[in-house]
Amino acid sequence: MSGTNVTSLLSNLTRHNKTTTQLQLMKGIILSERIRYIHCEDPEGNHGVLVLLGNDKYPTKTFEVNDQADFRLGLRNLKIAEDTQAELETPLPELATV
């Protein structure tokens, strides 16, 4: 590859990387012990993903968010799942024998 082609290729890659970084700005927010929200802003609009982090017994769950209604519904559903999973992890008290 000639020096001109390499320079041209590097120039195009640099221009592409600058454009890509300008297109998307991502932010993460911790909403609870295991629920996270990842927000992305780009020219096509705002969107995000709610994530319920998995553990040894339960897989990771995700919920796509395109507007406020999606966010509320997704957060409610993931919070119910998080609370239910935590409840199932709590051992039941032993029954007393008479």
The 10s digit of each residue's pLDDT in 56-77 is: 999 999 999 999 999 999 999 9
Phi-psi region of 45 (alpha: psi -120 to 50; beta: other; left: phi over 0): left
- pLDDT higher than 90, residue 80: yes
State how far Cα 71 lies from the chain centre.
12
Tens digits of residue pLDDT in 8-43: 555 555 554 444 445 567 789 999 999 999 998 877
Q: Which two tokens stand for residue 29?
A: 């927010």
> What's the pLDDT at 60?
96
